[in-house]
Amino acid sequence: MAGHRPAPLARSFYARPATEVARALLGKVLAHGGVSARIVETEAYLGLADEAAHAWRGRTPRTEVIFGPPGHAYVYLIYGIHDCLNVVAEPEGSPGCVLIRAAEPVTGVAAMRRRRAVDRVEDLANGPGKLTRALGITLRHNGADLTRGALTVQGTVREPDREQPFEICVSPRVGISKNVDWPLRFFIAGSRFVSNHSLGSGATLKKHAEADHFS
């Protein structure tokens, strides 16, 4: 019981609807080579049912990963500049995924600062492109298995203790032009580490408490 080592989340964690996985990923820890950060903001993309999703048009060389087994990384380049990390959800063949938008640095803060020159810790990973840069995640990680290997997602931050309960806020997704008002963006209420899009006006639609037996 005491002092169990942080273990990656099992594949069954990801084999659920993308919206469920998006919620459940909040509070979990993304780890890569000694650097880790607690996920505080996610977005669900619903595949064939969702015109805003990359997989909406079906299988292409790029979207192949999203159609594959859950628990893998889908990383793509946006605007020729930034890498964005997604987690493949849903059973194999069902192309749902979750964009990881922001995280709270936990370990390896010095390494993150080396990769991103910012003053405030809050700004290290408070956006999809900033997050991948801070954690050293690139296109090379496309297709990586998150249940084993260098890039993983694990349970809670504090070892013996359970993650403190938190509330989840819901809002429309950011930066898309289709299905603009679908409430598929999730973030931890009150977190200082969410992307800047959430501050500003009352983007919050509703909240509710969350408990999860996968921690």
Partner DNA sequence: CAATAGATCATCT
Partner DNA sequence: GATGATCTATTGC
User: Which residues are near DNA by CB under 7 A?
Assistant: 43, 45, 52-55, 57, 60-63, 74, 76-82, 84, 86, 97, 99, 116, 118, 123, 127-131, 139, 173-177, 195, 200
In the complex, what is the shortest distance from the CB of residue 32 to DNA, in angstroms, rounded to a whole number?
A: 17
Q: Which is nearer to DNA, 79 or 164 (CB)?
A: 79
Q: Which is nearer to DNA, 31 or 75 (CB)?
A: 75
* Minimum separation from the CB atom of position 44 to DNA (A): 9
Other CB atoms within 10 Å distance of the CB of residue 210: 17
In the complex, minimum distance from the CB of residue 160 to DNA, in angstroms, rounded to a whole number: 33
In the complex with DNA, the residue whose CB is nearer, 81 or 209, is: 81
Closest approach, Cβ 138 to DNA, in A, equals: 10
Nearer CB in complex with DNA: 1/81 = 81
